[in-house]
Structures are given as structure tokens and as C-alpha cells.
Amino acid sequence: MLVVKNVSKTYNSNVVLKDVSLELKKRILGIVGPNSSGKSTLLRIIAGLEKPSCGKILFRDKDITRLNANKRVELGIVYAFQIPRPFYRLTVLENVMIGCLIRNGENIRERAIKICKMMGIDHLINAKAKVLSQGELKLLELARVIATEPEIILLDEPFAALDKKNAKVVKEKLLEFKRMNYRMLITAHRFKILRDIADGFVEIKEGKIRRYHVEG
Ligand SMILES: Nc1ncnc2c1ncn2[C@@H]1O[C@H](COP(=O)(O)OP(=O)(O)OP(=O)(O)O)[C@@H](O)[C@H]1O
Ligand SMILES: [Mg+2]
């Protein structure tokens, strides 16, 4: 499905990823590792937001290394920002409708409302994104991602900066995504928080894959 093949990344002389190879075979792969180990860089490279210094990204046996992030969203590879980046001056519904625009079709407003309901933010559809709390922004970010009808969702530390209550809500949503059969690649500092969600794990340290727990 998705293959990362011998990817390295160097910023100036700082080698951030060293010959990283992994494969998303099943549904949900957790990528675990300490600060600065290269998790976000790897996810950004898969999303097309960053170019690898060498190596390839394959999706359905096609080399997508040279495709930009927008093209990858069209293919179904969508990145959820660690710090959500909605259009703050637009409403919640407008933000989700923009996500829907990537696919043709009608009833964009209805589709967006349905997604807001699923994410539990339908009471906020007319609120401007700038008034949302951290937890609500995270749910909006996930709604925006779902609106693009993704095949693979790339989630960079989805629980970071959330309190316990909001982390629990986000976890419930990710479990719901799992039941809906979305494929996901999720980063986290520690294994424990992803235990119920991921089917498999890789551990990354200083830019190198150290350990496969179970292949995901
Ligand atoms: N745009 C950039 N320019 C230069 N160096 C960068 C850039 N992005 C990341 N780095 C460096 O790459 C290394 C890995 O960073 P990355 O953000 O991928 O790690 P991470 O595992 O996501 O860390 P964290 O757990 O803190 O989010 C760090 O040393 C960081 O300083
Ligand atoms: Mg990171």
C-alpha cells in the first residue's frame, strides 16, 4: 500500500533520517520515538511537505516521491498537523467544506455537516475557527482530514498539548476511524498511548528504525 524505501534526510550537515524503510501493510502503524528522533520529518516526507535527500515513497506500487502534497491529498494521503492550521477567520463548517472541495460531487454542505456531526462539533458549525478551544481545534483538524476522503491519514502526535479529557475524546475518534477502516500512520513519544489504536509499531531513534514490534 504505502512503502518508504531507504529514505534519508539531511538538513545542512544534520542527518535527521538514516536509511529509513517501512511499509504500511495492515491498517494502523504507530511510529514511536523520543524528541528529535525524526518522526515529524518522516511524516512530512510521506505527506510531500518535505523532500527526502534520497530514497523513495511508493503508493500502490507507484513512485510518488516527486509529487507535491496537494497531489498526494488527491491520491488519498492526508496529513493532520500537530498544531491544527484551520482558516481562523472562517467558520467551522466553511473549513470542513473546503476539505470536501478536493473531491468533486454535490452536496458539499450536507457532507460537511455530516462530518461535523460525526466529529461532535456540529454545535459549532457557525462559530469562527478562531474562537475554538484546543480540543475543538483538534476535532476540526480531523474533520478537515476526513472531508478529503483519505485513504491514509498521517497523524503527527495527535494527543500532544491536549488535557486528559480532550485526549480521551480524540482517542475515541481515532478508534472510530479504525472501525471505519481508514489506514493511519500515527506518531507518539511513547508506545502506551497508541497501544489500543495501532496494529503494529516501529521505533525510531536518532533517525534510524530501531525495532519493529509488530508489523503494522
Ligand atoms: N526544517 C528543518 N530544518 C532544520 N532542521 C530540522 C528541520 N526540521 C527538523 N529538523 C531537525 O531534525 C531533527 C528531527 O526533528 P523532528 O521534528 O522530525 O523530530 P520528532 O521526532 O518529530 O521530535 P518531537 O518528538 O520533538 O516532535 C531535529 O534535530 C530537528 O532539529
Ligand atoms: Mg515531531
The pTM (predicted TM-score) of the whole model is: 0.94
Residue 210: the pLDDT is 87
Task: Classify 64 as helix, strand or coil.
Answer: coil
Residues contacting 94, CB < 8 A, separation 6+? 87
Q: Is residue 10 part of a domain?
A: no
Q: 123: CA distance to ligand 2 center in Å?
A: 31
Q: 35: CA distance to ligand 2 center in Å?
A: 7
Q: How far apart are CA 139 and CA 135, in angstroms?
A: 6
Residue 212: the pLDDT is 65
Nearest to 110 by CA among 147, 153, 73: 147
Q: Which of 10, 16, 17 to mutate to test the pocket of ligand 1 (most atoms within 8 A of CB)?
A: 16
> Residue whose CA is closest, atom 23 of ligand 1?
36
- CA-based end-to-end distance of the chain: 11
In whole angstroms, how far apart are CA 112 and each of 74, 89, 126, 142, 174? 18, 18, 12, 12, 18
Closest ligand, as measured to the CA of 44: 1
Q: Is residue 122 part of a domain?
A: yes
Residue 214: the pLDDT is 58
What is the residue-wise DSSP string for 97-124? Answer: HHHHTTS--S-HHHHHHHHHHHTT-GGG
Q: Is residue 15 part of a domain?
A: no
Q: Is residue 8 part of a domain?
A: no
Residue 216: the pLDDT is 47
Q: Is residue 14 part of a domain?
A: no
Contact 147, 135 (CB under 8 A): no
In the chain, the number of structural domains is 1
Q: Which of 32, 36, 187 to mutate to test the pocket of ligand 1 (most atoms within 8 A of CB)?
A: 36
CATH number for 137: 3.40.50.300
Q: Is residue 62 part of a domain?
A: no
Residue 150: the pLDDT is 96
Q: How far apart are CA 42 and CA 50, in angstroms?
A: 9
- Domain range for 186 is 26-52+67-212
pLDDT tens for the chain, residues 1 to 216: 999 999 999 999 999 999 999 999 878 999 999 999 999 999 999 999 999 999 999 999 999 999 999 999 999 999 998 788 899 999 999 999 999 998 877 899 999 999 999 999 999 999 999 999 999 999 999 999 999 999 999 999 999 989 999 999 999 999 999 999 999 999 999 888 899 999 999 999 999 998 766 554
> Residue whose CA is closest, atom 26 of ligand 1?
35
